[in-house]
Chain A
Amino acid sequence: MNARQKRMLLAGAGVIGVGVAAMLALSALQSNIAYFFSPSQVQAGEHPTDAVFRVGGLVVADTLKRQADGLTVRFDVTDNAETVPVSYTGILPDLFGEGQGVVAKGRIGADGVFHADEVLAKHDASYMPPEVADTLKTAHADGIVEDTAEGLKAAGQTVTR
């Protein structure tokens, strides 16, 4: 085997190795991504029933209720067209509040309640998660989205359990 053949062999092995690695990485990715659905899409049944996904919108006023254990909360999320009830056990982010934008990640239960294991709230007076802003726009609710052009730097907050 001369030097040239050796190089070709090495290059070939490299390409195959990279290919296999990329396949493994992609298949792992498939099981770790969470799609985003608006409350309207969820009510229309477009969401997956067996996988984790995200739902986002505004927290409906007067729907935030704490359950008896003191740690579980229930609230409704709306895109101003439909609403989805969400349940979450744990401590909510600081800027979580009624009327605020929120993105929750979790699964939907048989009872139609979305059981979140992560809640992302905006963490800056002028920030709105882009998905939520889009959702509200598609639901023809422009104007509710606040001015997002302010250059305030902020770090948001997720809660992971």
Chain B
Amino acid sequence: MVPELGHFALILALLLAIVQAVFPLAGSLSGNRPWMVMARPLAFGQLTMLGIAFAALVQAFVTSDFSVLYVTQHSNTVLPDIYKVSAVWGGHEGSLLLWVLFMAGWGAAVAVFSRNLPLAVLARVISVQGMIAIGFLLFMLTTSNPFERMFPVPQEGRDLNPLLQDPGLAIHPPMLYMGYVGFSVAFAFAVAALIGGRLDAAWARWSRPWTTLSWVFLTIGIMLGSWWAYYELGWGGWWFWDPVENASLMPWLVGTALIHSLAVTEKRAAFKSWTVLLAICAFSLSLLGTFLVRSGVLTSVHAFATDPSRGLFILLFLCVVVGGSLALYAWRAPEVSDGGRFHFVSRETSLLANNLLFVAFTVLVLFGTLAPLIYEAFGWGKISVGFPWFNKMFLALAPFLALVLGLGPALRWKRDQPMRLVRGLWWALALSILVLALSYLPAFSGGHVWVPVGLALAAWLTLAHIAVVRERLRNKGGLTKRGPALLADLRGGGRSFYGMVVAHLGVAVLVVGITLVSNLQQEEDVRMSPGDSHEIAGYRFEFLGVDPVPGPNYMAQRGHFKVYRGERQIDELYPEKRAYLGGGMPMTEAAIDPGLFRDIYVSLGEPVGDQGDWALRLYYKPFVRWIWLGAILMALGGVLAVSDRRYRIARAPARQPVRQPVQGPATDVTAAA
């Protein structure tokens, strides 16, 4: 009964989405106010229906209702309760349901928090979201209905893939989806602006907090994925340039370009059509990511069993969304004048460089990811692109990005004096060069040339931002009262500024992490007998043997290690090899001694011979945590920026005329709004 209710709610959601896509938009074009007013209740109704559908699926999982095919495939009775819930999005159908639920959530949030948005704009935004929802709901109902029944009802379900029975992976997909789907808001704002022909600073201001927030979710999602891969897949890597990872990285790269470009559009009313294009691209790449992951056209280490008809549907949907929005763009964007001229030495230039670098890198990642498809389509053979290529491309662009990143915040809008810049930043540059020289010494770099480069760039980033904060505080309250000035600034309108600083410092931390772990890590595959010791990077691993240990729904072979630094024992590690009762699929559970400056990592390979010997993998990972720490700082910076008072004021009911004065040349090109 409950699954049918869920199915029914899903169908109602589709009907609501159709109404939502048609009426508010039509109302906004014809000036029919009652139709526009429908937008808000429709957004809430959509969320309610999908909430009911989702709750129905959760209920089916929690009560282990194996008459539902999807539950049978992804859960069983011995699965711990918490994973019964996370199993809801452990497969294709449930992930999609989560996706549309989040999209409805974003839509409802826009309806709640954009009280001062002109009604016509809100109506269009909600309508565009309705159109996307139609696509996804049709997709679900026709090819991947999570509520499909199965008779006869099996006694026991299969299992949730053991790789997914992990807290990190329970929250990784929701975060990622929140980010992906969040870009649909930016997309909807952009398309709504194109429909209305109204692209201006006000549009950028409305769109900015939503874009930044989705970017924050995506950042956290990618970070969790990387962290999960590191400890759960058992081979100690944190990024593999795998198609599925690239699929999440591409929207992130374009999204990063977008939040910077939006800043220019808001402050200087420049880059307008470019910003719109980025917003369209960010969401299109999210859809492309879904297509790549769901269609199975690419060989991935995140290997999905897939269904070609699903891939075809998403591909068609992708074509409609990308084609439609680009056509709209081509039609309307030329009418938008790109105001806000700027001089070569200006913040605009640095942000333009940022955008170009991010887009260039996205194009490269996209090309590398799709190259196997291109080669096959042209009959050039079946290829895979090795990750060294991606690394090379990354290293070719990243240093320039870091250099610009240090300069950008120090630059003034429109026009700056090069000499002023030199006066403000010479000491940061000098210290960075000092770091370069010091870390070039073999004692630090171990002969790897990228170590000094990475460390110097991180130092440059950090110091340049310190210089910028100092200058701001000096202008605000004088250097003598730095603390109070900082607090007042944080309470006042400075949060987006400090958010930017924190996020950029996150980049510096990330650069340190990537540089050091990539160049200085040590890893060895060894064969050890119980009682053996093996030393890497100054740490001695003593292997005490492997014993069988039962878990809640698996049997584990648990290894026991003592780790010594010199004579002092620093930790005991218990890596496991698990066999799950549901599927009999083996799983490696690595044991990690985490630290801010290094991780010690042990994972069990397989038993060798009959004397209790094992093939083992031992790792020393310096500064690996800094990679995720950097990502967390970036996300924190984003949150700080979103909490800026500027956006809160924008949220309060507007007393002044809804049309805000436009900065720069007049951009209101249509009367339709």
Residues of A within 8 A of B (CB): 21, 24-25, 28-29, 32-36, 52, 54, 66, 69-71, 89-92, 94-95, 103, 105, 120, 122-127, 129-131, 134, 148-161
In the bound complex, do residue B527 and residue A122 qualify as a contact, i.e. CB atoms below 8 Å apart? no
Which of A94, A151, A156 gathers most chain B CB within 10 Å? A151
Q: Which residues of B contact A (CB under 8 A)?
A: 70, 73-74, 90-93, 95, 144, 158, 161, 163-164, 229, 233-235, 237, 240, 296-297, 299-307, 360, 364, 367-368, 371, 375, 381-386, 388-389, 392-393, 396, 525-527, 583, 585-588, 603, 605-606, 608-609, 613, 615-617
* Distance to closest chain A CB from B312 (angstroms): 14
Bound form: Cα–Cα A124–B73 in Å: 12
Q: Are A35 and B382 in contact (CB under 8 A)?
A: yes
Name the residue of chain B whose CB is nearest to the CB of A134: B382
With known contacts A36-B384, A94-B585, A151-B144, A66–B608 Cβ distance under 8 A: yes
B383 near A151 (CB under 8 angstroms)? Answer: no
Q: Which 5 A-B pairs have the closest CB atoms?
A: A91-B605, A70-B527, A36-B382, A32-B389, A156-B303
Q: Nearest chain A CB to B377's CB is how many angstroms away?
A: 14
Smallest CB separation, B662 vs chain A (Å):
24
Nearest CB on A from B314, distance (A): 14
Which residues of the partner chain A approach B303 to less than 8 Å between Cβ atoms? 122-124, 127, 129, 154-156
A-B contact count (CB 8 A): 152
Most interface-central of B302, B588, B609, B616 (chain A CB within 10 A): B302
The CA of A136 and the CA of B147, in the complex, are separated in Å by: 34
Chain A's closest residue to B390 (CB) is A32
Between A and B, 16 residue pairs with Cβ closer than 8 Å are: A36-B381, A36-B384, A69-B527, A71-B608, A94-B585, A95-B585, A127-B304, A127-B305, A134-B382, A148-B305, A151-B91, A151-B92, A153-B92, A153-B161, A156-B301, A156-B303
- B163–A155 touching, CB < 8 Å: yes
Provide the bound-state CA to CA distance between A5 and B234, in Å: 58
Residues of B contacting A33 with CB < 8 Å?
Answer: 371, 375, 383-386, 389
Cβ–Cβ < 8 Å partners of A91 in chain B = 235, 525, 603, 605-606, 615-617
A residues near B90, Cβ cutoff 8 Å? 153
Cα(A126)–Cα(B347), bound, Å: 53
**Complex formed: what's the CA distance from A34 to B367 in Å?**
16
CB-CB nearest in chain B for A118: B386
In the complex, the chain B residue whose C-beta lies closest to that of A24 is B396
CA distance A69 to B608 in the complex (A): 10
Q: Min CB distance, A124 to chain B, in Å? A: 6
Select A155's contact among B233, B525, B583, B605, beta carbons within 8 Å.
Answer: B233
Query: How distant is the Cα of A156 from the Cα of B303 in the complex, in angstroms?
Result: 5
In the bound complex, what is the Cα–Cα distance between A95 and B606 (angstroms)? Answer: 12
Most buried by A among B237, B306, B526: B306
With A32-B386, A70-B613, A154-B304 already in contact, 12 other A-B pairs whose C-beta atoms are closer than 8 Å: A32-B388, A33-B383, A90-B525, A91-B603, A92-B606, A122-B303, A124-B161, A152-B161, A152-B304, A154-B303, A157-B234, A161-B525
For A34, what are the chain B residues with a Cβ–Cβ distance below 8 Å? 383-384, 386
Bound Cα distance from A100 to B306, whole angstroms? 18
Report the Cα distance A131→B382, complex, angstroms.
8
